[in-house]
Amino acid sequence: MSARVYIETFGCQMNVADTERAGSGLQSAGYELVDSEGAADVILFNSCSVRARATQKLFTRIGEVRSSRLSEKPVIGVMGCVAQLEGQALFDNPSISLVVGTRATDRLPELIDRALNGKNHLIDLDERADGEVWNIPAAQRHSKYVAFVPIIEGCNKFCSYCIVPFSRGRERSRTADDILAEVYGLREHGYREVHLIGQNVNSYRPKSEAGLEGFKGATPFCKLLRATAATGMERIKFTTSFPRDFHPDIVTAIEENENLCDWIHLPAQSGSDRVLRAMRRGHTRDDYLRRIETIKQARRRLSLTSDIIVGFPGETESDLEDTMKLVADCEYDGLYIFKYSERPGTPAARLPDNVSRQEKTARFLALERVQRRIQRRIYEGYLGREVQVLVERDSSRSRTDKTGHSTCHKVINFPGESVALGQVARVQVRTANPNSLYGELLDVA
Ligand code: SF4
């Protein structure tokens, strides 16, 4: 069947990877992928349910598409987390004729074929078929230089506020054989950086250790880090790490391998033991700080980022102070702060959401002020230093500037008209902005 398909992606890196995978399967089945909804016969929204705002944006976009294509009636489908959670209920929206769950990506070509042949209200929320492979051709990736490589899907942790274990199901790890073959393939195609991704990468636990033989490590993830480093891929990053499963051997593996990058994202969510218990995070403030201590003592400086939720049900001023203190102690290079928003169906949704919207905003701003001060100091510490930047795109602010990330995952801009995308530039930092660094090009690797 030849038809044009447009996929719009909301949410996290896992959704970006799923879109790449869906696109790859559709192209193999003869579909043409297009860059805008205007020319498409089929419009798919790869949805995110982690926050209420992302879900609202999905329905706004469906409405916009429907009204712009009123006379043509393209097939409109929802895939991803909202599809998995809402299922049949999505058909209450008369624009939607196809619902594809998080594990049904590889069955999309067949579902679309049926939809184009006039079937309405098609739904697939089933599990992945045995033996499905994850490989995505280079041409289908979001970038020609940086590739996302999922190593684990789903989550078993059931933090009380989070919908992911319901939308993405239980943890399933890919075999190392499969992951390493993908990384070797990416290297052959000229990729210079991979991100090993998953809701909790360091909970990686494949059914067999095929591919990890001969690699030391305290956990399968530590072995996988060393095995990935041995592929010779130039830069390797991984996200997100779960505090309870953060073994000190991860830091040792980074110290031993230069191509394991100097950045760790370790979400704390709160600095108050009382709130952490209510969140069912499985770690205490002290457990978390012990892990941070290991990271801080590494032989090379590791950049550290985190997530915090403010205004969780029952959070008091004193809990917030504990969080502010934790943030000050950890000295994060970057912090994603979220105001708590209830996700229906989670245990936390049964708790009275007793922190008002205004109070959540006030707490958000107070914590942001603390983080800004810390971040300014850290960013100013880069002045005069050299960083290796993988050049990912032209800057959106200046026609002559290029932008990319350092190995410590900072955004770096620099005047680089002569530099091609995909090169690694040596840049000396001259200016520290609140969320990025600006520098001068020294040379290109
Ligand atoms: S670890 Fe907690 S916050 Fe992270 S995906 Fe799993 S349930 Fe959600």
Q: In this predicted model, what pLDDT tens digit does every residue of 243-269 receive, in sequence order?
A: 999 999 999 999 999 999 999 999 999
- Which helix (H) or strand (E) covers residue 291, if one does? helix 285-296
Ligand 1 close to Cβ of residue 242 (< 6 A): yes
Region 95-111: what's the mean pLDDT? 93
Region 420-439: what's the mean pLDDT? 97
Burial environment of residue 365 by CB neighbours within 10 A (0 to 12, 13 to 18, 19 or more): exposed
From CA 94, how far away is CA 77, in angstroms rounded? 11
From CA 204, how far away is CA 245, in angstroms rounded? 9
Region 107-133: what's the mean pLDDT? 89
Pocket of ligand 1, candidates 163, 164, 240: which has the most ligand atoms within 8 Å of its Cβ, to mutate?
164
pLDDT of residue 397: 87
DSSP string for 150-176:
E-EES-S---TT--HHHHT-S-EEPPH
Residue 352 burial (CB count, 10 A): 7
pLDDT of residue 60 exceeding 60: yes
State the pLDDT confidence band at 297, using cuts at 50, 70 and 90. Answer: very high
From CA 76, how far away is CA 414, in angstroms rounded? 41
158 CA distance to ligand 1 centroid (A)? 6
Residue 128 burial (CB count, 10 A): 17
Characterize the bridge pairing of strands 411-415 and 437-444: parallel
Sheet holding 263-265, edge to edge: 263-265, 303-310, 334-339
Please give the structure tokens belonging to residue 362.
């006030």
Query: Could you read off the pLDDT of 314-323 as tens digits, one per residue?
Result: 999 999 999 9
Characterize the bridge pairing of strands 386-394 and 401-405: antiparallel
pLDDT of residue 1: 57
From CA 234, how far away is CA 220, in angstroms rounded? 22
With b meaning 16 or more CB within 10 Å and e meaning fewer, what string describes 160-181? bbbbbbbbbbebbbbbbebbbb
Closest CA to 189 of 403, 424, 16, 422: 422
Tell me which residue has its CA closest to atom 8 in ligand 1: 162
Ligand 1 close to Cβ of residue 159 (< 6 A): yes
139 CA distance to ligand 1 centroid (A)? 31
97 CA distance to ligand 1 centroid (A)? 30
200 CA distance to ligand 1 centroid (A)? 8
Contact between 48 and 81 under an 8 Å Cβ cutoff? The reply is yes
Closest CA to 437 of 401, 410, 415, 409: 410
Domains and CATH numbers, the chain: 4-124 (3.40.50.12160), 138-380 (3.80.30.20), 386-444 (2.40.50.140)
Question: What is the number of the ligand 1 atom nearest to the C-alpha of 168?
Answer: 5
pLDDT of residue 137 exceeding 80: no
Query: Could you read off the pLDDT of 322-369 as tens digits, one per residue?
Result: 999 999 999 999 999 999 999 989 999 999 989 999 999 999 999 999
